[in-house]
Structure 1
Amino acid sequence: MKPLSCFRILACTAALAAALPGLAQAQANWPNKPVRVILPFAPGGSSDLVGRQVAQHLSSHYGQQFVAENRAGAGGNIGVDAVAKSAPDGYTVGIGTSGPLANNKSLYNPMPFDAEKDLTPIALVGEIPLVLAVNPSVKANTLAEFVALSKASANGLTVSNPGNGTIGHLATEYLSMQAGAKLQPVPYKGDSLAMVDAMSGSVNAVLVPVTSLIPNIQANKLRALAVTAKTRFPALPNVPTAIEQGVDLQATVWSAMVGPAGLPQSIVTSLNQEINKYTSSPEGKAKLNSLGMVPLAATPQELQKLMSTEAAKWQEVVKAARISVE
Structure 2
Amino acid sequence: MPGMVGRTRRTILKTAAAALAAPTAFPAIGRAQGSWPAKPIRCIVPLPPGGGTDTIGRRAMQRLSEALGVPVVVENRAGAGGTIGSDVVAKAEPDGYTIGIATASSHSAAPVFRKDLPYDPVKSFTAITMLGTTPYILIGGPAAGATDLPGFIAAAKAKRGKVNCASVGVSTLGYLLTKQFELLAGIEMVDVPYKGSALAYPDLMSGTVAVMLDNPSGSAGLVREGRLTGFAVTRPSPVLPNVPTFESLGVKGFDAVFWYGVVGPAGLPAEIADRIQKALADGFLTDRGRETLRVMDVEPVMSTPTVFAAAMAKQTQELRALADRLGIKPTE
Correspondence for 1:249 among 250, 254, 267:
254
CA change 1:75–1:86 in 2 (3 A) is same
CA change 1:185–1:248 in 2 (3 A) is farther
Amino acid of the residue matched to residue 315 of structure 2?
Answer: E
Q: Which residue of 2 aligns with 1:195?
A: 204
1:91-134 C-alpha deviation (Å, 9 max, x unpaired): 21111322222222233341111111111110111233221256
Distance 1:139 1:49 in 2: 27
How far apart are 1:55 and its partner, in Å? 2.0
| Pairing of 1:217-228 with structure 2 (within 5 A) | 217-218=223-224, 224-228=230-234
Q: Which residue of 1 aligns with 2:298?
A: 293
Identity %: 28
Q: Which residue of 1 aligns with 2:268?
A: 263
* Contact 1:272–1:299 (Cα < 8 Å) also in 2: yes
Distance 1:139 1:44 in 2: 25
* Contact 1:164–1:325 (Cα < 8 Å) also in 2: no
* Contact 1:162–1:194 (Cα < 8 Å) also in 2: no
Q: Which residue of 2 aligns with 1:309?
A: 314
Q: Which residue of 2 aligns with 1:208?
A: 214
Give the superposed CA RMSD: 3.7
CA change 1:226–1:35 in 2 (3 A) is same
Distance 1:69 1:216 in 2: 25
Correspondence for 1:161 among 148, 159, 166:
166
Q: Which residue of 2 aligns with 1:276?
A: 281
Where in structure 1 are there 5+ consecutive unaligned residues? none
How far apart are 1:273 and its partner, in Å? 1.2
Amino acid of the residue matched to residue 278 of structure 1?
Answer: G
* Contact 1:173–1:185 (Cα < 8 Å) also in 2: no
The DSSP-based 3-state class of the residue aligned with 1:94 is strand
| Pairing of 1:1-326 with structure 2 (within 5 A) | 12=18, 15-16=21-22, 19-133=25-139, 138=146, 149=154, 155=160, 158=163, 160-165=165-170, 166-177=172-183, 179=184, 181-187=186-192, 189=194, 190-193=199-202, 195-196=204-205, 203=210, 205-215=211-221, 217-218=223-224, 224-228=230-234, 231-242=235-246, 247-318=252-323, 320-322=326-328
* Contact 2:55–2:218 (Cα < 8 Å) also in 1: no
How far apart are 1:15 and its partner, in Å? 4.9
Where in structure 2 are there 5+ consecutive unaligned residues? none
CA change 1:70–1:76 in 2 (3 A) is same
1:293-325 C-alpha deviation (Å, 9 max, x unpaired): 333221212221232233333334545354777
What is the TM-score of this pair, normalised by structure 1? Answer: 0.78
How many residues are aligned here? 316
What is the TM-score of this pair, normalised by structure 2? Answer: 0.77
